[in-house]
């Protein structure tokens, strides 16, 4: 079984801390991104998420949003936790980064999408 709680790093060098789940599967944490779409000084930003109740297969699904403290954007991550035969845990995620644009005519450029794999550092 995969435990989301802990310190995780992705392929970009971003770090996040996920705190313990409550009984409803809701969790909080913080995200320190290594990159940004703006030139603003990066600040550690809060995240809020939910984990599905663990299935019998163990590859529990989860999602969280990061409310950036240095930009008007927000990112939503969804993913699954996997454990390999050596016990190494990875969080395999897909994200959407929504940027604030001045008008609905600009929505074509408002959303970025990507994938990210997190490995446990603590």
Question: Which of residues 36, 83, 101, 117 is near ligand BTN by CB under 6 A?
Answer: 36
Could you tell me the smallest distance in angstroms from the CB atom of residue 11 to ligand BTN? 9
What is the DSSP annotation of 17-83? EEPPP-TTSEEEEEEE-S--SSSSPP--EEEEEEEPPPPTT---EEEEEEE-SSSS-EEEEEEEEEE
Dist. CA 35–CA 42, nearest whole Å: 8
10 is an interface residue for ligand BTN by CB under 6 A:
yes
14 is an interface residue for ligand BTN by CB under 6 A:
yes
68 is an interface residue for ligand BTN by CB under 6 A:
yes
Residue 49 · residue 64 · CB < 8 Å: yes
Question: Which of residues 47, 62, 71, 91 is near ligand BTN by CB under 6 A?
Answer: 71
Residue 37 · residue 112 · CB < 8 Å: yes
Question: Which of residues 4, 8, 29, 33 is near ligand BTN by CB under 6 A?
Answer: 33
Q: Residues touching ligand BTN: how many (CB under 6 A)?
A: 16
Query: Which residues sit at the interface with ligand BTN, rule CB under 6 A?
Result: 10, 12, 14, 33, 35-38, 68, 71, 73, 75, 95, 97, 114, 116
């Amino acid at each position: 079984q995969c435990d989301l709680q802990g310190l995780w790093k992705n392929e970009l060098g971003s770090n996040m801390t996920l705190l313990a789940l409550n009984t409803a599967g809701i969790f909080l944490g913080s995200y320190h991104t290594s990159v940004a779409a703006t030139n603003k000084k990066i600040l550690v930003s809060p995240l809020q998420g939910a984990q599905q109740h663990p299935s019998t297969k163990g590859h529990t699904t989860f999602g969280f949003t990061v409310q950036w403290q240095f930009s008007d954007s927000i990112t939503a991550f969804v993913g699954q936790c996997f454990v390999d035969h050596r016990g190494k845990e990875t969080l395999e995620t897909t994200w959407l980064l929504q940027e604030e644009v001045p008008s609905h005519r600009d929505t074509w450029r408002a959303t970025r999408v990507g994938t990210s794999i997190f490995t446990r550092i603590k």
